[in-house]
Structure 1
Amino acid sequence: MASSAEADLRTRIQDWLPKIVLAPSFAVTLLFVYGFILFTVFLSFTGSKMLPNYTIVGWENYRKLWALENWHIAIVNIGIFASLYIVICTALGLMLAIFLDQKIRGEGVLRPIYLYPMALSFIVTGTAWKWFLDPGIGLEHVMQLWGWESFSFTWIKDNNMAIYTIVIAAVWQTSGFVMAMFLAGLRGIDNEILKAAQIDGASSFQLYRRIVIPMLRPAFLSSFVILSHLAIKSYDLVIALTGGGPGRATEMPATFMYSYTFTRNQMGIGAASAVIMLMTIAAIMVPYLYAELKEKS
């Protein structure tokens, strides 16, 4: 009887021990992540300026936000950046994955080289590309020293082209990570299916177009979600590379939110912009999570 009670107690302790261990981290996450998210949503409906003000003003901050020219510039810029960033990263990552999947020599060397940029922070990437693209010390200066005196590459100083320098730096950093996702998907495809298609006379192009790429749908979906999330919260890369300039040429919703909250002392408007960014990410993440959970069930 005693041994049965001891076994029952031991089973209960084993059941509760993981919950007890995880409880502090769960409570911290609940408070400092989801609690602050709810607090930010609340601030977006208040008249907060430099400090929180708990006077409810309704949708006034959202009305002011959409009336600001800087916000419209940020929306246009994030549209340009996100669309190019996602498309180029996906295409380049897929091509690199297909290239490495051919069992080429030196794959063990090439794979870390492609992945290495992802190990850097966006601050380091932005700073490095800022030096590289600076006409005074970077690519243009070096090419002119080598004899191409007419060579000019001043995108980082050009209001119309500066946004594309952020695309270049972001693609350079993230395409290797996307390559790794696609490579994992390619290595997970059953070779018997591919051999059967080849026996039936399918060319390499038909093989990838009709079989391989459709079977990479989960990798495409995952890369889209991750790249969209990185694009929307692209603050550190922009600050390090262009600082939002020249002028407001590379203003993004993330930099807009920071400047209006902490520089211009318009906390209510800054919180409203943060909520819109959150809703945009949620609009991407929720259908993805729903599809994943539905597929597992």
Structure 2
Amino acid sequence: MNTRSRLQDWVPKLVVSPSFLLILIFVYGFILYTGYLSLTNSRMLPSYGFVGLENYYKLWRLPHWWRAITNLGIFASLYILISSVIGLGLAILLDQKIRAEGLLRPIYLYPMALSFIVTGTAWKWFLDPGIGLENTMHQLGWTSFAFNWIKDRHMAIYTVVIAAVWQSSGFVMAMFLAGLRGVDNEIIKAAQIDGASTITIYRRIIIPLMRPVFLSAFVVLAHLAIKAYDLIIALTGGGPGQATELPATFMYSYTFTRNSMGIGASSAIIMLVMIFSIIIPYLYSELRGEKR
């Protein structure tokens, strides 16, 4: 019996161990390797001449990098804010037990089933003045209509926001809807008996109770914003010029097209630090809440 119980304990561990080993090597191992490359004078190929923090000093002196950071600030703030507002609005709408909920919910969620490459390509066609929305409106007779943001270096970053919000709002809606359905009905009924209106119930009771959901949505959206790459490549290619360059596209261009692997690796580590600065406080708050 002891032998059998030991086998039952060890078999799951043995089954999981190959996956754990692969993750340990190809995720955490390569993170450490990237960190080491960021401290070397690697150019086109890895080199092991140690230069300390020199690549980080060079990185923060590059206007190209500052442009990517500025674009990330614009993109991330608008993306998180608009996706959260739209997602919450859709969740509240579906929470009213409307008849078409079963139909609307998959419609809202459908964009998240697409890859960012597909989303970027579709929105690139839609926003292209020559074949997209502007051309269609001209053919319908509205010749004065103009919407060429994707070609305008001052407005192109906002087209990235539009495409990203379109894809992620349904997912955020699902998170908020789950949170809304998890609120205790007894609290809501007590507020209704006291004469509170529906708006007051949502504003004073339900939404404050959903702080963990807001935090989770923020972490997910911030993580997607920081590592955004495929959407940018498919939609704008980082252009016009460097108007939509983000840290992920900067990292790729300096590593593989500008033969500056050390600087590219240092930018990747900066991105990792950004993600950790979001995830670690989130995990701390979750663990702290469980202990309480």
TM range (shorter): over 0.9
The 2-side partners of 1:184 and 1:242 are apart by 34
Indicate which of 106, 114, 139 corresponds to 2:100.
106
| Correspondence for 1:115 | 109
| Correspondence for 1:203 | 197
Q: Quick check: 1:233 aligned with 2:227? A: yes
Q: Quick check: 1:24 aligned with 2:18? A: yes
Pick which of 190-199 and 165-174 moved more: 190-199
Aligned-pair identity in percent equals 71
- CA-based RMSD of the aligned residues comes to 0.6
Indicate which of 142, 148, 155 corresponds to 2:149.
155
Alignment of 1:39-50 (within 5 A): 39-50=33-44
Alignment of 1:279-290 (within 5 A): 279-290=273-284
Give the superposition deviation at 1:296: 2.1
Structure 1: segments with no counterpart, 5+ residues = 1-6
Indicate which of 122, 139, 146 corresponds to 2:140.
146
Give the superposition deviation at 1:197: 0.6
Q: Quick check: 1:95 aligned with 2:89? A: yes
| Correspondence for 2:79 | 85
The 1-side partners of 2:39 and 2:96 are apart by 56
| Correspondence for 1:3 | none
| Correspondence for 2:119 | 125
Give the superposition deviation at 1:255: 0.2
Q: Quick check: 1:219 aligned with 2:213? A: yes
Q: Quick check: 1:189 aligned with 2:193? A: no
The 1-side partners of 2:176 and 2:206 are apart by 11
| Correspondence for 1:10 | 4
AA matched with 2:110: Y
The 1-side partners of 2:19 and 2:198 are apart by 50
Give the superposition deviation at 1:56: 0.7
The 2-side partners of 1:243 and 1:76 are apart by 17
Per-residue CA deviation, residues 190-247 of structure 1 (Å, 9 max, x unaligned), is 1110010111121222111110001111110110000000000000000000000000
Stretches of 4+ moved more than 4 A in 1? none
Q: Quick check: 1:296 aligned with 2:259? A: no
The 1-side partners of 2:30 and 2:77 are apart by 30
